[in-house]
């Protein structure tokens, strides 16, 4: 016990002596939280719209006004040259063009169904699809109003419409921060313990102090425990800091149980600390450890449902995400924050996550033993 | 004393051996982009499909079944009938068996025949706001289709033709392959250079090099040249995989892309240099480089999320992200066939950023030496 304690003191001293590292550990995550929480929105706004109004009539102007009245489109200019559309898109100056043909109002008045053309830059498929949807909506509204305002318009008899009444549960304001901030917490709880433990073990290896430690009366377990407990504590401090910022500054509602969250975070830390030890056993320099950790991180973040919804992936890749421990914890933490889920309803994520954690942790410890033994 | 080619190439050769001997890092550097490309190319799909929808059909009539049929027929929804109590609907959201529930009232059929409108309730699990907005829009669309099929919608007085340029099938891989090039290039150039210089500092070999007759500028050039080559090779691999596996078109000039890629690599290298002048140990350099390059590049450059939708303050911040400009360049050249005169804006900003970064880091580097 005494020995583990001295080892821990040494680790803490090493961490706290390294001022730049300390600020990276504590200030950087908060900065990231501020930036990322606002950046992640898949909502499409301010589409750059080029208008080619070849009709220049009262009616066509009304069509254009429909696009100007919303923050979904930014009207950036008018053009009469259709060739210009493609060139402007190539220079990233326009994303969509609205082409109203000459004689539009005349043909509309005669009931000859003139053709409105919408040209969209398809490079960003998601944005393009959404933009087309917006355009259809605005034009549809214009069309319906136009028909209704015709002098000879009569309300068709027997209109029985089905209408939608929607209830948004858990998040009636539809703020994306509520969803993303708990995700960022998981990312931090992954990066920090994994990097810290891997780098600190490899550093001892690289500069030769690991062998010095091995010849001391410390057993290997004591060595590992002394190394890991400080990082465990640091991770919890980090968790507390980030959650305070999230709850106080971002006003993220925390509906669930703090105790449950802390308990499951402990189980998750087995995985990330275990991965850190594992990385340290297969690498021999800090640079290698760094790159290996990076590799794991990118895989875990991209395939964990952090910002790419798992449900949208092809089935094979969806199955692959079951191998990703982060997947489970992201679901867990979001459900606790937003839905106040109980341990019982989280079991289907908590069990595989714990299994992964214990497996990875014990295998890494065994491997570490062999390497040093 | 002028810059000597021999001395630069000697340092470059030493650095090159460092890279080659570290087989594992090299392996990751080349495997990584391919893995990322595959994940991005296949997995990154922001459009939601096959949403699980619980249906509570209290009416059990012909019309209500038709409404459910309209939802099963759309590719967005996978409806299933929920038999439990209405009060327990929330359990479906908690266990994530459904993301949306549709409640058809028991007087649906009667109201549909006698009244102008009938309300159908949709309960959406809005924990993921972005998904909830999409689900709502899809529901709306299906309802509109249902109304239209029953012949109660006004026909539009004009035709609407939509043309999609450059990527008519709206393939996300076409969008992301060039994006991965931008991401990998900055990671490798900035991360590796920042580590290599701080490693010399940490192990004390920097001072040994400094007392040798090599000038600081020669050290820097010698150190970065191998990484320029490495980054270039990596870019070529990604490009090749993208063109062959994902069949991403290449419409513009390869020559122009090569030239501007050099500019971008220079920007990334100057960023790496700046980091290395700040950091004294490898650990700090790595963490700083990761924090500055990885997440901001993924989140703030327009790689995934549209910049125009971000809050204004954050939009200004994106001007500092080199990948923002390179994304416009590489996507423009590859997918649209943009020419140089159409990319002047991004090129100018990228060049400006490089000059500033390089200026500051050379100054700091010299200051460090004098201390």
SS3 A277: helix
Cβ of residue A298 closer than 8 Å to a chain B Cβ: yes
**What is the model's pLDDT at position A371?**
62
Please tell me the distance from the alpha carbon of residue A188 to that of residue A32, in angstroms, as a whole number. 10
Q: Which of A163, A167, A168 sits opposite B118 (nearest CB)?
A: A163
Cβ of residue A62 closer than 8 Å to a chain B Cβ: no
The domain containing residue B292 runs over which residues?
Answer: 5-44+167-370
Whether B313 and B294 map to the same domain: the answer is: yes
DSSP A342: -
Say if A163 falls within a structural domain: no
Cβ of residue B309 closer than 8 Å to a chain A Cβ: yes
Whether A10 and A133 map to the same domain: the answer is: no
By 3-state DSSP, what share of chain A in percent is helix, strand and coil, each rounded to 5? Answer: 65, 10, 25
Whether B73 and B187 map to the same domain: the answer is: no
The count of C-alpha atoms lying within 13 angstroms of the C-alpha of B314, restricted to the half-sphere facing its C-beta, is 23
Whether B314 and B190 map to the same domain: the answer is: yes
Task: Tell which residue, A303, A285, A294, has the closest CA to residue A194.
Answer: A294
Cβ of residue B13 closer than 8 Å to a chain A Cβ: no
Whether A111 and A198 map to the same domain: the answer is: no
Cβ of residue A15 closer than 8 Å to a chain B Cβ: no
Whether A242 and A315 map to the same domain: the answer is: yes
- Nearest chain A CA: its distance from B136 CA (Å): 8
Mean pLDDT of chain B: 82
Say if A153 falls within a structural domain: no
Whether A215 and A90 map to the same domain: the answer is: no
Count of structural domains within chain A: 2
Whether B37 and B91 map to the same domain: the answer is: no
Cβ of residue B126 closer than 8 Å to a chain A Cβ: yes
Whether A87 and A195 map to the same domain: the answer is: no
Whether B288 and B208 map to the same domain: the answer is: yes
Crossing angle of helices A125-148/B172-186, nearest 10°? 140
- Nearest chain B CA: its distance from A147 CA (Å): 7
Classify B170 in phi/psi space as left (phi over 0), alpha (psi -120 to 50) or beta: left
Cβ of residue A244 closer than 8 Å to a chain B Cβ: no
Cβ of residue B75 closer than 8 Å to a chain A Cβ: no
**What is the model's pLDDT at position A352?**
93
- Nearest chain A CA: its distance from B125 CA (Å): 5
| CATH number of A86's domain | 3.40.1710.10
Last residue of a domain, one of A96, A120, A144: A144
B contact residues 21-40, partner A, Cβ 8 Å cutoff: 22, 24-25, 28-29, 31-32, 35-36, 39-40
Say if B328 falls within a structural domain: yes
**What is the model's pLDDT at position A156?**
59
Say if B161 falls within a structural domain: no
Say if A277 falls within a structural domain: yes
Cβ–Cβ gap A120/B164 under 8 Å: yes
Bridge partners (DSSP) listed for residue A48:
A74
| CATH number of B105's domain | 3.40.1710.10
- Residue A48: C-alpha distances to residues A68, A88, A94, B32 (Å): 11, 11, 5, 35
Cβ of residue A145 closer than 8 Å to a chain B Cβ: no
Say if B210 falls within a structural domain: yes
- Residues of chain B with C-beta less than 8 angstroms from the C-beta of A18: 281, 283-284
Q: Which of A90, A121, A288 sits opposite B25 (nearest CB)?
A: A288
Under a CB-based contact definition with an 8 Å cutoff, are residues B210 and B11 in contact?
Answer: no
DSSP B106: T
Cβ of residue A189 closer than 8 Å to a chain B Cβ: no
CB pairs under 8 A between A and B: 348
Say if B160 falls within a structural domain: no
Q: Who has greater pLDDT, B22 or A357?
A: A357
Last residue of a domain, one of B91, B120, B149: B149
Under a CB-based contact definition with an 8 Å cutoff, are residues A84 and A77 in contact?
Answer: no
- Nearest chain A CA: its distance from B138 CA (Å): 10
Classify A92 in phi/psi space as left (phi over 0), alpha (psi -120 to 50) or beta: left
Whether A267 and A127 map to the same domain: the answer is: no
Whether A219 and A302 map to the same domain: the answer is: yes
Residue to substitute from A43, A101, A124, A174, interface B, most B β-carbons within 10 A: A124
Say if B162 falls within a structural domain: no
Cβ–Cβ gap B130/A28 under 8 Å: no
Whether B324 and B185 map to the same domain: the answer is: yes
Q: Which of B24, B123, B130 sits opposite A169 (nearest CB)?
A: B123
**What is the model's pLDDT at position B369?**
62
Cβ–Cβ gap B342/A171 under 8 Å: no
Last residue of a domain, one of B149, B182, B208: B149
Please tell me the distance from the alpha carbon of residue B289 to that of residue A202, in angstroms, as a whole number. 19
Say if A164 falls within a structural domain: no
Say if A106 falls within a structural domain: yes
**Which helix (H) or strand (E) is A163 found in, with range?**
strand A161-169
Last residue of a domain, one of B99, B123, B149: B149
Cβ of residue A343 closer than 8 Å to a chain B Cβ: no
Residues B147-166: tens digit of each pLDDT: 877 766 566 777 777 788 88
Please tell me the distance from the alpha carbon of residue A354 to that of residue B301, in angstroms, as a whole number. 36
Cβ of residue B295 closer than 8 Å to a chain A Cβ: yes
Say if B156 falls within a structural domain: no
pTM: 0.79
Whether B310 and B225 map to the same domain: the answer is: yes
Residue to substitute from B146, B151, B165, interface A, most A β-carbons within 10 A: B165
Q: Please name the residue of chain B whose CA is at the shortest distance from the CA of residue A167.
A: B123
- Residues of chain A with C-beta less than 8 angstroms from the C-beta of B304: 307
Whole-complex ipTM: 0.75
Residues in chain B: 371
Q: Which of B113, B126, B171 sits opposite A160 (nearest CB)?
A: B113
- Asked if the model's pLDDT at residue B79 lies above 70, the reply is yes
Please tell me the distance from the alpha carbon of residue B297 to that of residue B307, in angstroms, as a whole number. 12
Under a CB-based contact definition with an 8 Å cutoff, are residues B13 and B41 in contact?
Answer: no
Whether A140 and A244 map to the same domain: the answer is: no
The domain containing residue A94 runs over which residues?
Answer: 47-144
Whether A225 and A359 map to the same domain: the answer is: yes
B contact residues 129-188, partner A, Cβ 8 Å cutoff: 129-133, 136-137, 139-140, 143, 146-147, 150, 152, 154-172, 174-175, 187
**What is the model's pLDDT at position A169?**
79
**What is the model's pLDDT at position A178?**
82
- Nearest chain A CA: its distance from B97 CA (Å): 12
Whether B69 and B28 map to the same domain: the answer is: no
Count of structural domains within chain B: 2
**What is the model's pLDDT at position B94?**
82
**What is the model's pLDDT at position A370?**
67
B contact residues 231-260, partner A, Cβ 8 Å cutoff: none
Whether B59 and B131 map to the same domain: the answer is: yes
Say if A58 falls within a structural domain: yes
Cβ of residue A125 closer than 8 Å to a chain B Cβ: yes
Whether A301 and A335 map to the same domain: the answer is: yes
Say if A316 falls within a structural domain: yes
- Nearest chain B CA: its distance from A86 CA (Å): 8
Whether B312 and B196 map to the same domain: the answer is: yes
Whether B109 and B171 map to the same domain: the answer is: no
Q: Who has greater pLDDT, B120 or A287?
A: B120
Whether A120 and A224 map to the same domain: the answer is: no
Band (pLDDT 50/70/90 cuts) for residue B46 is low
Whether B195 and B140 map to the same domain: the answer is: no
SS3 B98: coil
In tens digits, chain A (373 residues) has pLDDT values of 778 888 888 888 877 777 777 777 777 778 777 777 777 666 788 899 999 888 888 888 888 888 888 888 988 888 888 788 888 888 888 889 999 988 888 888 888 888 888 999 888 877 888 888 888 888 888 888 888 777 776 665 555 667 777 777 787 777 777 888 888 889 888 888 888 888 888 888 887 777 777 777 777 778 888 888 888 998 898 889 888 888 888 888 888 899 999 999 999 998 999 999 999 888 888 878 887 888 888 888 888 888 777 877 878 888 888 999 999 999 999 989 888 888 888 888 999 999 999 999 998 888 887 665 5
Residues B211-229: tens digit of each pLDDT: 777 777 777 778 778 888 8
Task: Tell which residue, B186, B130, B204, B147, has the closest CA to residue B321.
Answer: B186
Whether A314 and A243 map to the same domain: the answer is: yes
Q: Which of A91, A133, A313 sits opposite B342 (nearest CB)?
A: A91
Task: Tell which residue, B326, B323, B331, B302, has the closest CA to residue B314.
Answer: B302
């Amino acid at each position: 016990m005494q020995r583990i304690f001295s080892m821990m003191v040494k680790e803490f001293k090493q961490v706290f002596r390294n001022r730049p590292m300390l600020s990276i550990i504590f200030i950087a995550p908060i900065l990231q939280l501020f930036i990322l929480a606002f950046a992640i929105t898949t909502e499409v706004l301010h589409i750059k719209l080029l208008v080619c109004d070849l009709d220049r009539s009262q009616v066509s102007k009304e069509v254009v006004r429909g696009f100007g009245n919303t923050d979904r489109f930014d009207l950036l200019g008018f053009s009469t040259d259709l060739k210009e559309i493609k060139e402007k898109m190539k220079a990233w100056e326009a994303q969509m063009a609205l082409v109203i043909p000459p004689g539009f109002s005349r043909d509309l008045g005669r009931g000859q169904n003139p053709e409105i053309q919408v040209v969209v830059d398809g490079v960003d498929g998601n944005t393009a699809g959404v933009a087309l949807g917006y355009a259809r909506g605005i034009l549809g509204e214009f069309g319906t109003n136009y028909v209704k305002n015709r002098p000879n318009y009569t309300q068709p008899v027997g209109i029985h419409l089905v209408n939608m009444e929607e209830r948004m549960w858990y998040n009636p304001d539809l703020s994306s921060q509520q969803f993303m901030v708990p995700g960022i917490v998981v990312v931090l709880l992954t990066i920090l313990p994994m990097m810290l433990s891997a780098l600190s073990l490899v550093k001892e290896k690289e500069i030769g102090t690991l062998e010095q430690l091995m010849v001391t009366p410390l057993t290997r377990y004591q060595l590992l425990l002394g190394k890991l407990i400080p990082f465990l504590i640091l991770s919890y401090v980090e968790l507390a800091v980030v959650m305070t910022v999230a709850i106080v500054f971002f006003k993220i509602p925390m509906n669930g149980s703090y105790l449950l969250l802390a308990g499951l975070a402990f189980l998750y830390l087995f995985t990330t600390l275990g991965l850190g030890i594992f990385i340290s056993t297969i690498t021999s320099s800090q640079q290698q450890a760094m790159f290996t950790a990076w590799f794991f991180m990118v895989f875990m973040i991209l395939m964990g449902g952090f910002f790419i919804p798992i449900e949208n992936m092809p089935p094979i890749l969806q199955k692959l995400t079951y191998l990703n421990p982060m997947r489970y914890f992201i679901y867990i933490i979001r459900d606790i924050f937003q839905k106040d889920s109980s341990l019982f309803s989280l079991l289907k994520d908590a069990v595989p996550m714990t299994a992964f954690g214990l497996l990875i942790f014990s295998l890494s410890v065994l491997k570490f033993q062999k390497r040093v033994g | 004393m002028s810059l000597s080619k021999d001395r630069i190439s000697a340092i470059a050769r030493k650095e090159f051996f460092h890279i080659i001997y570290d087989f594992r890092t090299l392996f990751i550097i080349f495997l990584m982009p391919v893995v990322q490309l595959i994940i991005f190319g296949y997995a990154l799909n922001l459009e939601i499909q096959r949403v699980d929808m619980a249906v509570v059909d209290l009416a059990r009539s012909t019309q209500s079944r038709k409404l459910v049929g309209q939802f099963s027929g759309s590719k967005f929804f996978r409806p299933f009938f929920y038999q439990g109590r209405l009060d327990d609907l929330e359990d479906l959201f908690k266990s994530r068996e459904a993301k949306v529930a549709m409640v058809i009232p028991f007087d649906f059929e009667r109201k549909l025949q006698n009244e102008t409108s009938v309300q159908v309730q949709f309960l959406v699990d809005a924990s993921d706001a972005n998904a909830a907005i999409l689900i709502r829009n899809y529901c709306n669309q299906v309802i509109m289709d249902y109304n239209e099929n029953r012949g109660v919608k006004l026909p539009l007085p004009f035709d609407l033709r939509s043309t999609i340029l450059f990527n008519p099938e709206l393939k996300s891989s076409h969008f992301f392959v060039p994006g991965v090039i931008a991401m990998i290039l900055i990671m490798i150039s900035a991360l590796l250079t920042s580590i290599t210089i701080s490693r010399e500092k940490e192990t004390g070999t920097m001072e040994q090099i400094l007392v040798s007759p090599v000038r600081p500028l020669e050290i820097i050039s010698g150190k970065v040249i191998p990484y320029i080559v490495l980054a270039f090779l990596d870019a070529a691999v990604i490009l090749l995989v993208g063109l062959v596996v994902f069949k991403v078109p290449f419409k513009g000039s390869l020559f122009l892309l090569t030239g501007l890629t050099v500019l971008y690599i220079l920007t990334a290298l100057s960023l790496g240099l700046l980091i290395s002048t700040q950091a004294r140990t490898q650990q700090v350099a790595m963490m700083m480089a990761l924090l500055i390059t990885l997440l901001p590049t993924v989140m703030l450059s327009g790689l995934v999320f549209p910049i125009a939708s971000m809050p204004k303050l954050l939009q200004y911040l994106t001007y500092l992200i080199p990948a923002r400009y390179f994304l416009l360049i590489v996507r423009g050249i590859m997918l649209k066939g943009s020419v140089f005169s159409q990319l002047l804006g991004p090129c100018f900003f990228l060049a400006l950023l490089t000059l500033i970064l390089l200026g500051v880091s050379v100054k700091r580097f010299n200051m460090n030496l004098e201390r």
